[in-house]
Amino acid sequence: MNEKTNIPHLATAFIEQFQQKEQIFLQAQATIETWFREAWRDTPAPFYASVDLRNAGYKIAPIDTNLFPAGFNNLDPKFEPLCIQAIQMAVEHLPGNIDKILIIPENHTRNLFYLENIASLQSMLEKAGFKTRIGSLMSLEESQKIELESSRSVLLEPVLRDQNRLRLKDFEPELILLNNDLAAGKPEILENIEQTITPPLALGWSSRLKSDHFNYYQQVAQEFATLIGIDPWLIDPLFRNCGEVDFMKREGVDCLTKNVTALLEMIHAKYDEHQLSDKPFVMVKADSGTYGMGIMPIYETAEIIALNRKQRTRMATTKEGQKVTKVIIQEGVYTHETWGSDAIVAEPVLYLLDHQVVGGFYRVHSARSTSENLNAPGMGFKPLAFADCCILPDPSQGLNAHQNQFYMYGVIARLALLAAAREIASVA
C-alpha cells in the first residue's frame, strides 16, 4: 500500500488487465465526456447518489446504486467546496426558485453515525446558501435535539401537512430532499405534495427494484462499451431475478436454483473467454432493500438447497423487518484491492451530486474475503485522496498514476448514475 496517497493495492496478477482498460478510458476521455454531456441533456442526473464499485482488475463494475446516500460524514472535509458547488448546480437544475430545503431523514434517533451524515448534509446545504431544516416522519410531539460525537447536533422537527404542502411550524420549504429510502413504504404524508420531492417517491425501496436498476445499467453499459470498443461484461455484472421467493417456507426455490445455475454457467463462459482463473460466484440479494442485509454469496447451486435455518432467516428479512420476496441473483465481482500491510479487502464507494463525482472513500472490512459483501458490521472507511479524485485524468502521468485509476472509477460511477437517471425518468 502507498500510505502517502491512501491508495489500496491492486493484486499484482490483475494490474496489467486493469491498465489495459485504463489506457482505453484515458485515450477516449474527450469522447467519453462528450457522450456524458449528451446523456445528461437527455436525462437529468439524480440530486445525489452513492455507488459501490468492485474492482477485480480485469473487471470493474457497480454493484449497488444508492439514491438516498448516507455517509457524507465519511468524505474527506477537503471535498466540501466541491460538494457545495455541486449542490448549487443540482438545485439550479430543479424547477422553481428554491431557497429553503427540508431534509427528510431516516427514522433513526439512536443511530448517531447516520445522524452525523444528516448533520454534514445540512451543513453543506447551508453553506451552499439554502435555509435547511430537518423534518422527521416519526410522530414527534415536539422537536428533538440530538447531540452528536462530532460536537454538532441535529434538530429533528415534526413535519406538518397543510393542504398539499409540507412544512414545519415556522418553515415553508420549496424543496423536500429525501434521505429516507422509504423501505417501509411510501408515507401518506408525502403523497401528492405540491413541492418538488427529490429523489421522487417512486424511487424509494418500497417500489424500486435492484433488477430494474441493473436492467437500465445493462443498456447504459452496452451503449458505453460500444462507444469505446470494449466487451460490456468488463464493466457490467450479469444478473437474473426471481419473483416471489419465501426463504422460510422454501417457496420459489426452483426459480432461484434454475437462475443460479444459469448465471454461474454464464460467468464460467465469460471467465473462460477472458482466461480468468477466479472461481465464479453469484450474490443472492433482496431485489428491494439496502443496508447490506439479505445478501449471500453462492458458489454452487447445491448451496441453495442446503441453506440452514439461520441462513434462511438472515435472508428472509431486511431493513426494518421487511420480508424479502423478490430476489436478484447478481454476478459476484471479486474485489482484488486491499488496504494496508494486513491486506484488508477494500471496495471504492463514490459520491455524486448532480452529475458530478464529488468524492468517495474505500469501504474496508478486515473479517471479509475478496468475494464477500463488505457492507456489514465491522466495516471501516478510508478516504480517497482528494486532489486526485475522479475528475482529473492526466494521460501524461501514465497508467500507474492514481488519478487515472480514479478517473475510471468516476466514469463507472457515472454510468450507474445515468442508469438511475433513466430509472427516474421512467417513473416521473
User: Which positions lie near a second copy, rule CB under 8 A?
Assistant: 29-30, 32-34, 36-38, 41, 77-78, 80-82, 84-86, 88-89, 92, 97, 99, 126-131, 356, 386-387, 389, 391-394
CB-wise, 53 or 128, nearer to a second copy? 128
Q: How far is the CB of 225 from a second copy (least distance, A)?
A: 19
CB-wise, 14 or 409, nearer to a second copy? 409
CB-wise, 33 or 320, nearer to a second copy? 33
CB-wise, 102 or 286, nearer to a second copy? 102
Q: How far is the CB of 34 from a second copy (least distance, A)?
A: 5
Q: How far is the CB of 50 from a second copy (least distance, A)?
A: 18
Q: How far is the CB of 283 from a second copy (least distance, A)?
A: 33
CB-wise, 152 or 167, nearer to a second copy? 152
Count of CB atoms within 10 A of residue 359's CB?
Answer: 27
Cα–Cα distance between 238 and 330 in angstroms, integer?
6
Q: Are strands 165-167 and 160-162 parallel, antiparallel or unpaired?
A: antiparallel
Q: How far is the CB of 121 from a second copy (least distance, A)?
A: 15
CB-wise, 37 or 274, nearer to a second copy? 37
Phi, psi of 225 (to 5 degrees): -65, -40
Which among 331, 315, 327, 369 has a CA at the least distance from the CA of 347? 369
CB-wise, 149 or 342, nearer to a second copy? 149
CB-wise, 286 or 390, nearer to a second copy? 390
Q: How far is the CB of 131 from a second copy (least distance, A)?
A: 5
- C-alpha cell of residue 131: 435555509
Q: How far is the CB of 180 from a second copy (least distance, A)?
A: 24
Q: How far is the CB of 421 from a second copy (least distance, A)?
A: 16
Q: How far is the CB of 36 from a second copy (least distance, A)?
A: 7
Q: How far is the CB of 31 from a second copy (least distance, A)?
A: 9
Is the CB of residue 287 less than 8 Å from the CB of residue 327? yes
Count of CB atoms within 10 A of residue 263's CB?
Answer: 25
CB-wise, 35 or 271, nearer to a second copy? 35
HEC secondary structure over the chain: CECCCCECEECHHHHHHHHHHHHHHHHCHHHHHHHHHHHHHHCCCCCEEEEEEEECCCCEEEEEEECCCCCHHHCCHHHHHHHHHHHHHHHHCCCCCCCEEEEEECCCCCCHHHHHHHHHHHHHHHHCCCEEEEEECCCCCCCEEEECCCCCEEEEEECEEECCEEEECCECCCEEEEECCCCCCCCHHHCCCCCEEECCHHHCCCCCCHHHHHHHHHHHHHHHHHHHCCCHHHCCCCEEEECCCECCCCECHHHHHHHHHHHHHHHHHHHHHCCCCCCCCEEEEECCCCCCCCEEEECCCHHHHCCCHHHHHHHHECHHHCECCCEEEEECCCCCEEECCCCEEEEEEEEEECCEEEEEEEEEECCCCCCCCCCCCCCEEEECCCCCCCCCCCHHHCCCCHHHHHHHHHHHHHHHHHHHHHHHHHHC
CB-wise, 89 or 112, nearer to a second copy? 89
CB-wise, 96 or 378, nearer to a second copy? 96
Q: How far is the CB of 82 from a second copy (least distance, A)?
A: 5
